[in-house]
Amino acid sequence: MRRKLAAGNWKMNGTGDNLAQIAALTAAHPAPGVDILICPPATLLSRVSDAAGNAIATGGQDCHAAGSGAHTGDISAAMLKDAGATHVILGHSERREDHGENDQDVRDKANAAIDAGLTAVICVGESLAEREAANTLAIIGGQLAGSIPDGVTAQNMVIAYEPIWAIGTGKIPTLDQIGEVHDFIRTALEKRFGPGVGRSTRILYGGSVKPSNAEGIFAVSNVDGALVGGASLKAEDFGPIITALENA
Ligand code: 13P
């Protein structure tokens, strides 16, 4: 019922040299059972979109909440769409931390993205201190309530659970911990948006997903795919992750 989604977040990495990875990915891993999404830096968006064709969707990594105006350095959702994007990552912990984005900012951006016809990939996740204080579910619940706009659908929203302490560290939660949070997110979505949207919305896990741990993560209930950082930069790493998702 939910199509699996392998999403790559290139963060602030990549120039024209990296376009070869898109060709390699397309050639080596057709993966008909998996949707593939690459979110390159904005400077590469149109070139990645052209290189990816229909096989791979592309997305931005952030957008402004306004449609246009005097916001030097910012990019609107409509601009992302114009450059070929169908998705945009919003509320990534690096945006929340580096740019002080709070749940309301993420909600405003998600509304702008959806209004422009994009799918908002909304990120939530706890810090290590919050996990150690046994506050994980309370934090995730608050972020979901604050960051997701009303009236979303399973087509224009994807949720990514990314524990902050697992990003770029090589550490991942236990599979039980991942399952606990994903089940919690599923229930929260069902309660707020009803069973239709709640059961159809895709929930991704992100944080140190590698070819070596992907199979285990994808076997966890309510994990519908991954949001992959470092390992999405090279087709030789991202390809096996996509294959693991296809086979899950
Ligand atoms: P890593 O896969 O590099 O840990 O990054 C995860 C992430 O932040 C994806 O958005």
Residue 130 annotated among the catalytic residues of the structure = no
Separation CA 19–CA 177 (nearest Å): 36
Catalytic pick among 94, 101, 126, 162: 162
- Residue 224 Cβ inside 6 Å of ligand 1? The answer reads no
* Among the listed residues 29, 32, 25, 24, the one whose alpha carbon sits nearest the alpha carbon of residue 3: 32
pLDDT at 19 over 80: yes
pLDDT at 66 over 80: yes
* Among the listed residues 57, 149, 53, 165, the one whose alpha carbon sits nearest the alpha carbon of residue 109: 149
- What letter represents residue 71's amino acid? H
178-211 residue pLDDT tens: 999 999 999 999 999 999 999 999 999 999 999 9
pLDDT at 195: 96
Q: How far is the CA of 199 from the CAs of 7, 184, 189, in angstroms?
A: 20, 12, 8
Tokens representing 155 are 């087509």
Find the CATH number of the domain harbouring 119. 3.20.20.70
Separation CA 75–CA 95 (nearest Å): 14
- Residue 9 Cβ inside 6 Å of ligand 1? The answer reads yes
pLDDT at 126: 98
Ligand 1 atom index nearest CA of 94: 8
Q: What total number of domains does the chain contain?
A: 1
203-223 residue pLDDT tens: 999 999 999 999 999 999 999
> Domain range for residue 120?
5-246
DSSP, res 92: -
Give strand ranges (E) for the chain: 4-9, 34-39, 57-60, 87-90, 119-124, 157-161, 202-206, 225-228
- Torsion angles phi and psi, residue 225, rounded to 5: 155, -165
Residue 236 annotated among the catalytic residues of the structure = no
Residue 112 near residue 66, CB atoms below 8 Å: yes
Torsion, Cα of 169, 245, 225, 51 (10° steps): 90
86-126 residue pLDDT tens: 999 999 999 999 999 999 999 999 999 999 999 999 999 99
Separation CA 6–CA 245 (nearest Å): 7
* Among the listed residues 239, 240, 245, the one whose alpha carbon sits nearest the alpha carbon of residue 22: 239
Q: Is 225 helix (H, G, I), strand (E, B) or coil?
A: strand
Strand-pairing partners, residue 226, are 6, 205
pTM of the model: 0.97
Catalytic pick among 92, 94, 126, 182: 92
Average pLDDT over residues 162-181: 97
- Residue 229 Cβ inside 6 Å of ligand 1? The answer reads yes
pLDDT at 73: 97
Ligand 1 atom index nearest CA of 92: 10
129-150 residue pLDDT tens: 999 999 999 999 999 999 999 9
- Residue 162 Cβ inside 6 Å of ligand 1? The answer reads yes
